[in-house]
Structure formats: C-alpha cells, structure tokens
Amino acid sequence: MHSKTIAFAITAALVFTPMLAGCGGSQGDAGSSQGFGSEGVEQEQASVPVLDGKWRQEGHADGEDGMTGAIDGDMIALWISADGNDWIYWCGTFEAPQSDAPYTWTSKADKGNMTGLLSSQDDTKDFSYADGKITFKFSVRGETTDVVIEQASEETGLLAELKAGEGNSVDKAESDVKDLVLKDSGYVIQDGYVQYVMAIDNPNEEFAPHFVSVTVSGKAEDGTVSFSDDWMIGGLLPGSMTYWSGQAGNGNVAESDNVEIKISVDDDDWYKTAQKLDFYQIDNVSTTTDSRGYIVATGEITLKDAVELVDAHNAEKPMLVCVFKDAEGKLIAGSSTFTHSDLKVGEPSTFEIDSRFKDLDYATVEVYANPWW
C-alpha cells in the first residue's frame, strides 16, 4: 500500500509543478445587481455566472492526469485524476457569486468526505474567481503553486455520490455498524510456515471498513508465542463474503503449534457506501500441477462493469484467491496472486494461481477476486 501512495504522490507532483500561476485575477467585491435608480429608470443588471457543473484543470484535455472538480449548489469538490483514478483532494463549502466581478471565498472543509490517501489536511481553503476561472493553492512535497480550473461541458457523478454520503466516514459507536464475521478459516503448516485461508462476512447493508487488521499467531505446547504476524486488507464492501489467503510464521512453526486467526476494525475506521462486490465474474476454473508437482489453479476473470470505488481501491487489478475445501465445504488452505494487467470491462482475462501444495487432500476448488490498492 505504501508504494501505491508514494506513486500517486509523485504523480501529483509531476502533474502540478509546471502549472501557470497568477491566473486567478485580483480580489474584488462580490457586488449586487442594481435595482431602480433615483429617477425610476431601471439600470442594467450585471450577469451572474452559473458555476454549477464539472471543472477541469486549465490546459488539460478530458482524460488527462490533473485536477478535476465539481460544483453543486453550496458544495465544491476537487479530485486528483491520475492513472484513470479520481482521488478526493478537497470537499467543502461554496459561495456562489452575486455578479460577474472577481471575488474570493473561504471554503470550509467537509472532513467526513476527505478520507482519501491524497486528501488535503487543511480545515479551510481560499478560492478566487475571475474571468470564468477558479484559482487556488496546491502544495505537494513542500512546493506550492496556483492551480487554475475552468468549466467543462460534461457532467460528473462523483459529487452527487459525496452529497449522498457516499464515502463518508462514520464512527461505529455512533452508527448502526455491525462487526465483521470470520465465517471460516483453515491452514496448512508447511516448511515452517503457515499457509492460511479465511472467509470474512460483512453483514452491513451500507457500511464498509477502510482497513481490516488480520493477526495470525501461534503458540507452542508450553504456551509461549512462537510467532505473530499482522496483515492489513480492505475492499470488504457491504453484504460481501470475501476470501483471503496469506502466509505467516518465521520458518520455525511446528505442526504441534496452536494457530489462531483474528480480525479487527477500529471503531472510527468505517465509511458509508452503497457499492456492492458484484462486478467480477470467474469462469472455467480447473486445477493441474506444474513441473515440480505443485497444484496450480487456472481460469478466466471478467470485469462486468466499470467501477469507481470510493475507498481508493482498484477494481481493474484485483487480488485473486484460490480456495481449497473438503467434502463438507470446510476451508482447508488457499493461495493468491494478482492479475498481470488491468482488466477491461467485458473482456475475459486468463489467470494462473500457483500454490505451495503438492499432496493436499481437497474436494473442491474455488476462485474469488478482491479489489486491491
């Protein structure tokens, strides 16, 4: 996850360093429309610009990396668009102009909507409007520059999602959030390591965790802790049953060790979303063995719909998890990998998931996909 964050931060720096400065115009009074003069002659009213709609960075064509924005009523939002993703940077109040004269306003941040990896940490931000353009300060890696955005013709649905509460952070203590449920798990100890698999149910209808902490630990027969490993996962959308596989241990795990798997979410690490995990289709799953005798799962995955996930996850390059079950449907073990290239909507993509198992006694095999960072 850290590499993803750094990559996008660098992308933002490269995109915004050469921006033009000083294009916002000078500060002026908002002004008001003139009524009737003292002699009863109606004076000409100044036109009031309508700023609602989509905005994009000046000099950047649609689809190019840069800054995009949207204004709707008393709300303004800005996104950093990079590599086909939109990362929320600012969401706050908007004050509409009363005339076409240059003016400035101070936007108050809506922190509940600013939970992304590249969101501003400021409580307020100053904006200037002049000549059909909006200017504001943007800082990255210690450098500050003026960003200029101008109105675009097409509409955006991202701001509508924010206004509906999509992506809003919630506190478990103040909301009807239900705990995640570890429905099943299994593991195999091999070469001193634990190869584990688990199924996690999110019983909520409109809440999902930003991050889930997975702790896999082992105790020897005398009660001493032989190992303890932590893993952070995400993308567990409401109503979903997700499967995860990983490796834990230090190379010295014994068959007699008692292995325990636990999951936890901080009370303030939940957000509201209507999104569901229903955009992958897995077909033609089968198993074979490679030249060394290890079990390999193959098949095809299709991204059914274009998805813009709220919580900075990537639907186009998911984690693939191969699940081995016994005759009763109990989890035995699992293995995982990632797609080698971005999935394209409606186009099946083949996959191959290697495992560390040779003589695994299993009845069925299934493959699942999880959005990843």
Question: DSSP alpha helices (H): ranges in the chain?
Answer: 2-16, 158-163
Please state, in angstroms and rounded to a whole number, the distance separating the CA atoms of residues 72 and 53: 6
CB 74: neighbour CB atoms within 10 A? 10
CB 290: neighbour CB atoms within 10 A? 12
pLDDT at 160: 56
Helix/strand/coil (H/E/C) assignment for every residue in 154-223: CCCCHHHHHHCCCCCEECHHHCCCCCCEEEEEEEEEECCEEEEEEEEECCCCCEEECCEEEEEEEECCCC
pLDDT at 150: 92
Q: Which amino acid would we find at residue 6?
A: I
DSSP bridge pairs for 189: 194
3-state secondary structure of 133: strand
Please state, in angstroms and rounded to a whole number, the distance separating the CA atoms of residues 215 and 87: 29
The pLDDT tens digits of the residues spanning 33-88 come to 233 233 334 444 558 888 988 899 988 776 678 898 999 888 999 998 877 677 88
Please state, in angstroms and rounded to a whole number, the distance separating the CA atoms of residues 38 and 283: 79
Q: Give all domains of the chain, ordered by start, each with its CATH number.
A: 2-35+46-164 (2.40.128), 177-373 (no CATH)
Per-residue pLDDT of the chain (373 residues; tens, 9 = 90+): 333 333 333 334 333 333 322 222 222 333 332 332 333 344 445 588 889 888 999 887 766 788 989 998 889 999 988 776 778 899 999 998 888 899 999 999 988 778 777 889 899 999 999 998 999 999 887 889 999 999 886 544 555 555 555 567 788 888 899 999 999 999 999 999 999 999 999 999 999 998 899 999 999 999 999 999 999 998 899 999 999 999 999 999 999 999 999 999 999 889 888 899 999 999 999 999 999 999 999 999 999 998 888 766 789 999 999 999 999 999 999 999 999 889 999 999 999 999 999 999 999 999 999 998 7
Check: CB of residue 82 under 8 Å from CB of residue 11. yes
- Residue 293 CA neighbour count, 13 Å, CB half: 3
Cα dist from 329 to 12, 56, 370, whole Å: 47, 51, 21
Check: CB of residue 169 under 8 Å from CB of residue 115. yes
Check: CB of residue 338 under 8 Å from CB of residue 318. yes
Q: What is the mean pLDDT of the chain?
A: 83
Matching residue, tokens 């959308």? 237
Check: CB of residue 33 under 8 Å from CB of residue 48. yes
pLDDT at 30: 30
Tell me whether strands 207-209 and 270-272 are parallel, antiparallel or unpaired. antiparallel
Predicted TM-score (pTM) of this structure? 0.62
pLDDT at 26: 29
